[in-house]
Amino acid sequence: MSKYKGDIIEESLANKSVLDGLNVVSTRIEKVTDGHQTPWLSKWNIHTIEVDEDEAKGLAEKLSKALESQRGWYIDYRNEKYHYVVFNGKVFKLERNRKSDYSEMIAYGLSTGTPQEQLPNFEDLPIDVLDGFLREANLHTYADASAERVASLRPSSKDYHFEKSNLVFHDTYFGGAKFIGEEVVYKDGKPVWGMNYFGFTVDDSISEDLFDSILRPALMSGSGDNIPVRGPKEFANGEWRYVFNADGDLSNFSGLEEIFKKGQVVCRLHCHGGFIN
């Protein structure tokens, strides 16, 4: 299971020594506004931490004792399955796919004076969970030349399928060197996210097989710090160069993918997508 990740507002701690020895991956300073509802402060120092699975519970107990007790502060960190929400004297370990767990935590948080808009809320499919799932699904479907296609769902379609836990990824497309397709993610049998794409060769001398041999290595290299809907921002392979630029996040995005040969665009793909309900 992956590490937990979350934020600690330094000003929320009565005992700041609890920060010693934590894996702080980044720190940012946030200017306090009326929306923060902490007018006695001018800024928040926010530390992003990563926590190993076997240390998550013990850290929650330490943080619970270290939190300032009068202001309704909390600390939270999560992985793809569980979510720790820590108040002074109270720790919640939530299952991220159980809305009832969040309802109990929110009721408690409100009782401590924490504004409801600042409390963590249940999300049907959190972006970080979707992000991790798509990164894995992408590497086990079209991008992997050894991945087997599944039975066509529609006449002449080419289809790939990947499942993990209660999530299912399905990619179906038509065509070769010029192609159109759609990816859909299902949670518990319900479609919750999707992407449409249209790709084509600018240079008609590039066959479907050559297109595949150029594109697949780029996609197999992973998405890097891009949203995981295609490949990385840039990938070079001999005389070929792959570039993918996306606007937005997984909830609502559009993107342009281009493949260059000796500096000239030879293949292009447009895509867009996001959450559906």
The stretch 124-152 carries a mean pLDDT of 95
Q: What is the pLDDT of residue 207?
A: 85
In terms of Cβ atoms closer than 10 Å to its own Cβ (0-12, 13-18, 19+), residue 198 is middle
Phi-psi region of 156 (alpha: psi -120 to 50; beta: other; left: phi over 0): left
pLDDT digit string, tens, across residues 150-166: 999 999 999 999 999 89
The stretch 211-232 carries a mean pLDDT of 94
Q: What is the pLDDT of residue 140?
A: 97
102 SS3 class: helix
Sequence-distant (6+) residues with CB within 8 A of 86 are: 60, 63, 64, 67, 74, 75, 76, 92
Sequence-distant (6+) residues with CB within 8 A of 238 are: none
DSSP 8-state assignment for residue 144: S
Contact criterion met (CB below 8 Å) for 203 and 192: no
pTM of the full structure: 0.73
74 SS3 class: strand
Count the Cβ atoms, other than its own, within 10 Å of residue 212. 14
Q: Of 8, 128, 25, 123, which is closest to residue 75 (Cα–Cα)?
A: 8
The stretch 23-27 carries a mean pLDDT of 93
Q: What is the pLDDT of residue 1?
A: 56
Q: Of 70, 61, 81, which is closest to residue 2 (Cα–Cα)?
A: 81
Contact criterion met (CB below 8 Å) for 250 and 263: no
Residue located via tokens 């306090």 = 32
Q: What is the pLDDT of residue 197?
A: 98
Average pLDDT in the chain: 93
Q: Of 122, 125, 128, which is closest to residue 99 (Cα–Cα)?
A: 122
DSSP string across 147-189: PPPB--SSTT-EEEEEEETTEEEEEEEEESSSEEEEEEEEETT
Q: Of 28, 34, 23, which is closest to residue 9 (Cα–Cα)?
A: 28
258 SS3 class: strand
Residue 49 and residue 27: Cα distance in Å, rounded?
9
